[in-house]
Amino acid sequence: MKRILISLAVVFYVCVPVVSAQTPESRNEIMFGYGRVTVVDVAHVVGGVFATAFTAGYARFDNFRSYGSVNLEYYRTLNKTFSVGAAVSWFGGAADELNKDNVKVGDSKYSGFALMPAAKVFWFKKQKVAMYSKLAAGVTLLDDYDEKSDSHSFDPYWAAQVTFAGVQFGGERFRGFVETGSGMQGLVLAGLSYSF
């Protein structure tokens, strides 16, 4: 819990000086979205393949389930081109652990949080449609669950999300968005944004 609080404090102290130095014309934006195919999902599948290969089939994984990522982001508009802010994401998934006789012997579960300062660059902006790219980098706290002691410990690792292309569409305040990229939030993200 201390690591989570320290990470949140770091994100806060990185973002607040940038936000507080803005002009009165600046706008705030909150984005809520859902993503699929996170980098942790891919690592879990690839790790399962290697575990099967290196144990000659004694340890195998089946029935992989990804829960995707749930993302909350805040941005402050600096000008027509740049916005800065922060992103908080949750992701998770599971798979069945099988022995060589195809009998389920347990579950392989993973989940975590990502806390990342972020920036967006708009390269096309009209009244109803905007296109942008995004870069976010920070820390991810991966759950290391121990079945024997029934305890969780969130270990910190490097986290990032790169959005190659994002599209916002809709009205002045409420908009939908779709992004494609790579990282902790996923290969494809979609959701709603609110500006105020």
- pLDDT average, residue stretch 109-138: 95
What local confidence, expressed as pLDDT, does residue 22 receive? Answer: 43
CB atoms within 10 A of CB 115: 22
Amino acid 18: pLDDT: 47
Mean pLDDT of 158-163: 96
Query: 159-185 in b/e burial notation, b at 16+ Cβ within 10 A?
Result: bbbebeebebeeeeeebebebebbbbb
pLDDT tens figures, 15-59 = 544 444 444 445 899 999 999 999 999 988 888 777 777 776 667
* Residue 151 pLDDT greater than 70, yes or no: no
Q: What percent of the chain has pLDDT over 90?
A: 55
> pLDDT band at residue 1, thresholds of 50, 70 and 90?
low
Least confident of 42-46, 118-122, 123-127: 42-46
Location of structure tokens 């949750």: 90
State the pLDDT at residue 14: 54
Please give the mean pLDDT across all residues of the chain: 84
SS3 assignment for 104-167: EEEEEEEEEEEEEEEEEEEEEECCCEEEEEEEEEEEEEEECCECCCCECCEEEEEEEEEEEEEE
Task: Please count the CA atoms within 13 angstroms of the CA of 168 that sit on its side-chain side.
Answer: 29
pLDDT tens readout for residues 84-117 = 999 999 999 988 888 888 888 878 788 999 999 9
